[in-house]
């Protein structure tokens, strides 16, 4: 099915239904918007968004202009005290009632709309973003975003604060689960389609956290040092690709400093690159409390401060009145916000709250989870669980009797009915400010119930794993033992290590010693190390799989669904193999204190915005992010980028490369097994030595559906810009002349097809 770029709620609803194999929603029964105002000069929808914005600006007072460049502040996660236009989300900016300009109501929405329960609303918890990236499916990313856009409107919001496009230079980053993997082409393509989906529902879409925001430890104080070429070809390249796909309405600048200047007052990032080189037409919004100045931030290109008005309130008005900030500069900030209101359709399609389609959300969550789960090991075909030989299955640990884990922090989607593991555990160690938002939460999707339903002829049981002897005994008496292991992640904290807890490693060792058919199911938001990998028969990475994660897992384990997911991030052998083996942590003076219960978060953020002593991190691995690091340093890995097993096998042959203004890479893929499957066929390029690049880079891929024994000719277009390198001296992208090696196969380290081409 072809995707429509049209920003229309009906289109988004149709795409969502089509993705689920259902009939489109009966739109007459689901009114999406109220009637827009018709009596203004800018009500003419045939005019360009810029022309409409210019008409509004002519009628605005300075006070009105300043008012939409700031947040209004509110306690996080609850309705504000006293009369307010706030919808109770993460933040909001006022409208101009006399001019018909609506307020912008913002909600965190990385993998679902957050804190809906605070206002009695339901939100679908989808698989986390790194999970969804492991589907390598741009269409699924669009539909994922469209569902979130629709539920944002259902809950009364008009702006998404999702769209993470950061590359995990530090995979122990507590927000790795919110991002789209380690390659800029993959991350940018999927984040862009996510935002395009959100915007298809007349909701303002957002890309974040711009830029090089790769760890949570000391995020308000860290100064990330990186050369321009490395930044442009890696982290910024992901944002550039995402903007090209989505024409995103907003970009959120990050907390950290970059080469000495805070990201939200960094003129190189905001003006030179984003607004000039990337031709970004939307507005830049600060991360919450990420504004640190008035005139400097305004000059650099920040358009809106959130969640308060510490710098873009009275201080900004005084700066304009004194001439420190010009009227033209203010008008540019205002124009960007107004044009976004018109371009997104928010003016013409005002938000109307309504009941969400809960069952539709459940079905989509399961479909996405099935595409996202990655089969990492399957020794002696221990999976799928089928046939008379599997009489009993025991699930061990991980609260697999009641639910599946989610990621924490501002991305946390409320569990329907509350946490499936009562009582709620305390905040995660080292979670710092907003610790109450960083409790591990299990969604009520029970692997025990789901697998019991999927295997009616087998006995399926559960033991907690707290007692190693009892767990080993249960495993020994079962046909198959499945250990559920997990690693909780959250905004505001980083993992000390990619290793699981010592108790979980011991549990896996004990169970594997008792039963050779031991399978480990991992619920993580980052890679995990596996000292026990040679002792177990199977490993399945399900990430944080969402509200129907257990049902999706049951389909994979029993073979009803053939796994298709492939890793969007490398799994290293150990922390010692990372570019920075020891996580760089700030001194205590660079860490904000935890707010007291009931603290107004806007006030707390304002305190942080006063500035903290900087500490330094240098990304001296430069261009070598993710698989490029391991390739360049000749480091073996546990599982490479792009890797994932299937219940069938695929063969590659007949590579042909045609070059010209662009390149076309064609090859045959054949399903050599007995099951239908979908292969994610990947194309990489090795650039000439003169380019000074890592050994290979991803330049394209294709999802190929194949029946048993079927062969298909796959053609992957490779635009020339996927082969260029950034030249810092000329501030331009160049194609280095010479010999290029094009490679195709099933992962970054399984590339059986090679062909060399010479490009001028």
Q: What are 148's two structure tokens?
A: 């979130």
**Does the CA dihedral 273-275-277-279 come out positive or negative?**
positive
Please check the confidence at residue 379 and state whether its pLDDT lies above 60.
Answer: yes
Q: What is the mean pLDDT of residues 451-476?
A: 97
Cα Rg, the chain, nearest whole Å:
25
Q: List, for residues 679-714, the tens digit of each pLDDT value.
A: 999 999 999 999 999 999 999 999 999 999 999 999
Average pLDDT taken over every residue of the chain: 90
pLDDT value at position 544? 98
The three-class DSSP label of residue 215 is coil
Q: Dump the DSSP string for 250-304.
A: EEEE-SSEETTEEGGG-HIIIIIIIIIIS---SEEEE-TT----SHHHHHHT--B
Q: List, for residues 9-21, the tens digit of each pLDDT value.
A: 333 333 333 443 3
35 vs 314, residue with greater confidence? 314
Long-range contact pairs involving 656-661 (C-beta distance under 8 Å, separation at least 24): 656/755, 657/742, 657/755, 657/757, 659/757, 659/759, 661/720
pLDDT value at position 39? 85
338 vs 436, residue with greater confidence? 338
Phi/psi of residue 238, nearest 5 degrees? -60, -45
Start-end of H helices in 20-137: 49-59, 62-67, 129-133
Exposure b/e, 134-165, CB count within 10 A at least 16 = b? bbbbbbbbbbbbbbbbbbbbbbbbbbbbbbbb
Q: What domains can be seen in the chain, in order of their start residue?
A: 9-311+334-343 (3.20.20.300), 373-569 (3.40.50.1700), 627-759 (2.60.40.10)
Name the band, by pLDDT with cuts 50, 70 and 90, for residue 85: confident
Q: What are 81's two structure tokens?
A: 């005290």
Q: According to the 3-state scheme, what is the secondary structure of 66-84?
A: HHCCECCCCCCCCCCCCCC
pLDDT value at position 652? 98
Considering the chain, what percentage of its residues have pLDDT values greater than 70? Answer: 88
Q: List, for residues 653-678, the tens digit of each pLDDT value.
A: 999 999 888 899 999 999 999 999 99
Q: List, for residues 448-458, the tens digit of each pLDDT value.
A: 999 999 999 99
Rounded to 5°, the CA angle 143-178-435 comes to 130
CB-based contact 623:693 (threshold 8 Å): yes
723 vs 86, residue with greater confidence? 723
Pairing state of beta strands 538-541 and 518-523? parallel
- Out of 443-452, 499-508, 565-574, 656-665, which region has the weakest mean confidence (pLDDT)? 656-665
Closest CA to 206 of 270, 251, 165, 238: 251
Name the band, by pLDDT with cuts 50, 70 and 90, for residue 49: very high
The contacts of residue 91 (CB under 8 Å, 6+ apart) are 71, 72, 73, 74, 106, 288, 306, 307
Name the band, by pLDDT with cuts 50, 70 and 90, for residue 599: low
Give bridge partners of residue 619 from the DSSP assignment: none
Q: List, for residues 105-136, the tens digit of each pLDDT value.
A: 999 999 999 976 656 678 999 999 999 999 99
Closest CA to 353 of 28, 34, 12, 677: 34
Long-range contact pairs involving 538-541 (C-beta distance under 8 Å, separation at least 24): 538/375, 538/377, 538/378, 538/379, 538/382, 538/383, 539/375, 539/376, 539/377, 540/373, 540/374, 540/375, 540/376, 540/383, 541/134, 541/373, 541/374, 541/376, 541/565, 541/567
E strands, 123-194, in order = 159-160
Using a 10 angstrom Cβ sphere, with 0-12 exposed, 13-18 middle and 19 or more buried, the burial of residue 626 is: buried
């Amino acid at each position: 099915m072809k995707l429509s770029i049209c920003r229309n709620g009906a289109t988004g609803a149709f795409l969502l239904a089509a993705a689920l194999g259902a009939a489109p929603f009966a739109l007459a029964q689901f009114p999406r918007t109220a009637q827009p105002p018709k009596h203004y000069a800018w009500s003419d929808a045939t005019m360009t968004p810029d022309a409409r914005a210019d008409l509004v600006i002519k009628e605005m007072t300075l006070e009105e202009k300043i008012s939409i460049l700031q947040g209004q502040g509110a306690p996080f996660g609850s309705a504000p005290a006293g009369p307010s236009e706030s919808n109770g989300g993460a933040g909001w900016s006022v409208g101009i009632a006399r001019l018909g300009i609506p307020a912008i109501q913002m909600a965190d929405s990385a993998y679902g709309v957050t804190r809906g329960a605070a206002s009695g609303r339901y939100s679908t918890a989808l698989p986390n973003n790194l999970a969804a990236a492991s589907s390598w499916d741009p269409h699924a990313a669009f539909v994922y975003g469209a569902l979130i856009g629709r539920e944002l409107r259902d809950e009364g919001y008009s702006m998404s604060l999702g769209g993470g496009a950061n590359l995990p230079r530090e995979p122990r980053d507590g927000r790795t689960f919110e991002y789209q993997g380690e390659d800029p082409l993959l991350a940018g393509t999927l984040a862009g389609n996510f935002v395009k989906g959100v915007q298809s529902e007349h909701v303002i879409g957002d890309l974040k956290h711009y830029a090089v925001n790769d760890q949570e430890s000391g995020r308000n104080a860290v100064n990330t040092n990186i050369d321009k070429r490395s930044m442009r070809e890696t982290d910024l390249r992901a944002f550039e690709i995402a903007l090209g796909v989505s024409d995103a309405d907003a970009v959120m600048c990050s907390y950290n400093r970059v080469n000495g200047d805070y990201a939200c007052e960094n003129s190189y990032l905001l003006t030179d690159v984003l607004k000039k080189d990337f031709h970004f037409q939307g507005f830049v919004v600060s991360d919450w409390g990420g504004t640190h100045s008035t005139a400097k931030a305004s000059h650099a290109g920040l358009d809106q401060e959130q969640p308060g008005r510490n710098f873009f309130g009275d201080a900004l008005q005084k700066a304009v009145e004194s001439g420190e900030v010009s009227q033209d500069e203010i008008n540019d900030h205002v124009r960007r916000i107004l044009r976004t209101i018109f371009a997104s359709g928010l003016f013409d399609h005002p938000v109307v709250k309504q009941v969400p389609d809960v069952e539709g959300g459940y079905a989509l969550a399961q479909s996405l989870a099935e595409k996202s789960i990655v089969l990492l090991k399957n020794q002696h075909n221990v999976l799928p669980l089928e046939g008379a030989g599997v009489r009993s299955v025991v699930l061990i640990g991980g609260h697999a009797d009641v639910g599946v884990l989610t990621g924490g922090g501002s991305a946390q989607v409320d569990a329907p009915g509350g946490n499936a593991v009562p009582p709620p555990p305390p905040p995660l160690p080292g979670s710092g400010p907003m610790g109450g938002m960083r409790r591990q939460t299990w969604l009520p999707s029970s692997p025990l119930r789901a697998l019991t339903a999927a295997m009616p002829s087998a006995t399926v049981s559960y033991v907690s794993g707290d007692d190693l002897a009892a767990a080993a005994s249960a495993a020994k008496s079962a046909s198959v033992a499945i250990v559920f292991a997990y690693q909780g992640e959250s905004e505001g904290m980083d993992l000390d290590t990619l290793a699981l807890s010592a108790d979980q490693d011991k549990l896996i060792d004990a169970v594997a010693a008792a039963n050779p058919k031991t399978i480990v199911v991992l619920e993580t938001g980052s890679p995990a190390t596996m000292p026990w990998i040679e002792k177990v028969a199977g490993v399945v990475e399900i990430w944080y799989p969402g509200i129907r994660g257990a049902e999706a897992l049951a389909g994979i384990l029993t073979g009803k669904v053939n796994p298709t997911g492939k890793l969007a991030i490398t799994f290293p052998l150990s922390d010692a193999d990372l570019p920075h083996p020891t996580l760089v942590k700030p001194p205590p003076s660079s860490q904000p204190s935890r707010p007291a219960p009931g603290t107004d978060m806007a006030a707390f953020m304002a305190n942080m915005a006063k500035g903290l002593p900087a500490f330094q991190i240098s990304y001296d691995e430069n261009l070598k992010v993710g698989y490029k690091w391991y390739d360049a340093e000749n480091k073996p890995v546990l599982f490479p980028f792009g890797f994932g097993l299937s219940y069938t096998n695929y063969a590659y042959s007949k590579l042909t490369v045609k070059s010209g203004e662009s390149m076309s890479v064609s090859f045959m893929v054949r399903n050599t097994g007995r099951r239908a499957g979908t292969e994610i066929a990947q194309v990489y390029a090795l650039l000439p030595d003169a380019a000074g690049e890592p050994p290979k880079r991803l330049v394209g891929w294709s999802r190929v559906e194949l029946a048993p024994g079927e062969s298909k000719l796959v053609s992957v277009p490779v635009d020339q810009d996927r082969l260029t390198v950034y030249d810092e001296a000329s501030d331009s992208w160049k194609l280095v002349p010479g010999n290029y090696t094009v490679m195709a196969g099933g992962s970054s380290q399984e590339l059986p097809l090679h062909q060399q081409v010479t490009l001028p």
